[in-house]
């Protein structure tokens, strides 16, 4: 069974709930998938603010949330009555994909892992549902809805282990971006202003472009705007050359560094 770490409320800067009502695993029978219907860059805190300030709810509506990088976030938590599906907030665990309706493979893997974790804790299989199965809504829509009704298969999805930097692009944020930035710096390219700040901006793009140039790519303007398979391979080559040259450079799973990281050998 796959499990995933869950980013705690304190880590995403959650506000305290105005109230909480708990349920037991015995009352949980459903796993209900939603989408936030916003941009994939939406923060969990902004969703909480919307639910508490505009909707007037006691807390963020969902029990858990998942972003395109495959991160899982604690919402109300497994065993707190939610505010996500009318008539199903006690029976159903509400999991929200942050975005519209086309999650990345890492996001799907994480949603599936949360389902497996829920079933494990409940001691039985929970029913998998899209929000639209229980309320009159198009949520979670499109390819996400279809995948849920397919039984949330993970076979054939891209793995994210070791190659999770591929697909990152300018504008992305988070731990994977920090991982990319640390790799760029370990590869010998300076990110003088922002360092590993988790924000894929102009400096990171230029750093990746320079790294590609250093291993012989033409690497014209724009070549650092996205981590293509080629870009990833070239960065790994440069990293290997700069860390002993045995070609076995590998990425740590999680890198926690601040923006003013000093790169040392
Ligand atoms: Zn929904």
Largest CA distance in the chain: 60
How many C-beta atoms lie closer than 10 Å to residue 27's C-beta? 13
Alpha carbon 255 to chain centroid distance?
15
- CA 144 to centroid of ligand 1, rounded, Å: 12
- CA 97 to centroid of ligand 1, rounded, Å: 9
20 pLDDT higher than 60: yes
User: What separation, in Å, do the N-terminal and C-terminal C-alpha atoms of the chain show?
Assistant: 37
Residue 252's pLDDT band (boundaries 50, 70, 90)?
A: very low
- CA 85 to centroid of ligand 1, rounded, Å: 7
- CA 129 to centroid of ligand 1, rounded, Å: 11
- CA 1 to centroid of ligand 1, rounded, Å: 26
pLDDT at residue 159, rounded to an integer: 54
- Distant-in-sequence, close-in-space partners of 262: CB < 8 Å, separation ≥ 6: none
Residue 228's pLDDT band (boundaries 50, 70, 90)?
A: confident
- CA 262 to centroid of ligand 1, rounded, Å: 43
- CA 110 to centroid of ligand 1, rounded, Å: 18
Q: Output Rg (C-alpha) for the chain, integer angstroms.
A: 20
Residue identified by tokens 């029913």 is 127
- CA 66 to centroid of ligand 1, rounded, Å: 13
The fold of 6-149 is Lysozyme-like (3.40.80)
Chosen CATH of 163-265 out of 1.20.120, 1.10.3110, 1.10.101, 1.10.260 = 1.10.101
- CA 82 to centroid of ligand 1, rounded, Å: 12
- CA 265 to centroid of ligand 1, rounded, Å: 48
pLDDT digits (tens, 9 = 90+) for 200-221: 999 999 999 999 999 988 889 8
99 vs 157: which has the higher pLDDT: 99
- CA 125 to centroid of ligand 1, rounded, Å: 21
List the shell of residues around ion ligand 1, using CB closer than 5 Å.
34, 131, 139
- CA 183 to centroid of ligand 1, rounded, Å: 38
- In the numeric block, which tokens belong to residue 165? 């930097």
- CA 201 to centroid of ligand 1, rounded, Å: 32
- Tell me the average pLDDT of the chain: 87
81 pLDDT higher than 90: yes
Residue 163's pLDDT band (boundaries 50, 70, 90)?
A: low
Overall pTM > 0.75: no
Domains 6-149 and 163-265 share a fold: no
CA distance 265 to 162: 22
- CA 111 to centroid of ligand 1, rounded, Å: 15
CA distance 42 to 130: 21
Q: Beta 72-74 vs 92-97: how paired, if at all?
A: unpaired
Residue 243's pLDDT band (boundaries 50, 70, 90)?
A: low
232 pLDDT higher than 70: yes
The three-state (H, E, C) secondary structure of the chain, written as one string: CCCCCEECCCCCCCCCCCCCCECCHHHCCEEEEEECCCCCCCCHHHHHHHHHHHCCCCCCCCCEEECCCCCEEECCCCCECCCCCCCCCCCEEEEEECCCCCCCHHHHHHHHHHHHHHHHHHCCCCEEEEHHHHCCCCCCCHHHHHHHHCCCCCCCCCCCCCCCCCCCECCCECHHHHHHHHHHHHCCCCCCCCCCCCECCHHHHHHHHHHHHHCCCCCCCCCCCECCHHHHHHHHHHHHHHCCCCCCCCCCCCCCCCCCCCCCC
* Domain residue ranges in the chain: 6-149, 163-265
User: Do 204 and 174 contact (CB within 8 A), yes or no?
Assistant: no
- CA 170 to centroid of ligand 1, rounded, Å: 29
CA distance 202 to 171: 9
- In the numeric block, which tokens belong to residue 38? 């916003």
pLDDT at residue 217, rounded to an integer: 86
Residue identified by tokens 């029978």 is 29
Residue 236's pLDDT band (boundaries 50, 70, 90)?
A: confident
């Amino acid at each position: 069974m796959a499990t995933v770490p869950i980013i705690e409320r304190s880590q995403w800067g959650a506000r305290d709930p105005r109230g909480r009502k708990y349920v037991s695993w015995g009352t949980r029978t459903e796993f209900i998938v939603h989408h936030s219907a916003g941009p994939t860059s939406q923060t969990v805190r902004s969703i909480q603010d919307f639910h508490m300030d505009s909707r007037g709810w006691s807390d963020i509506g969902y029990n858990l949330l998942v972003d395109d990088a495959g991160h899982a976030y604690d919402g109300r938590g497994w065993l707190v009555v939610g505010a996500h599906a009318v008539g199903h907030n006690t029976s159903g665990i509400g999991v929200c994909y942050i975005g519209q309706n086309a999650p990345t493979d890492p996001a799907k893997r994480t949603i599936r892992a949360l389902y497996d974790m829920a079933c494990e804790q409940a001691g039985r299989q929970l029913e998998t549902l899209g929000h639209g199965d229980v309320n009159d809504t198009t949520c979670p829509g499109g390819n996400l809805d279809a995948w849920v009704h397919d039984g949330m298969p993970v076979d054939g999805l891209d793995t994210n282990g070791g190659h999770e930097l591929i697909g990152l692009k300018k504008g992305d944020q988070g731990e994977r971006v920090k991982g990319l930035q640390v790799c760029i710096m370990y590869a010998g390219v300076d990110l003088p202003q922002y360092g590993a700040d988790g924000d894929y901006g102009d400096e990171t793009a230029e750093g990746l472009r320079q790294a590609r140039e250093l291993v012989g790519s033409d690497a014209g303007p724009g070549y650092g705007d996205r981590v293509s398979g080629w870009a990833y391979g070239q960065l790994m080559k440069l990293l290997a050359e700069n860390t002993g040259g045995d070609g076995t450079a590998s990425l740590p799973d999680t890198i926690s560094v601040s923006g003013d990281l000093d790169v040392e050998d």
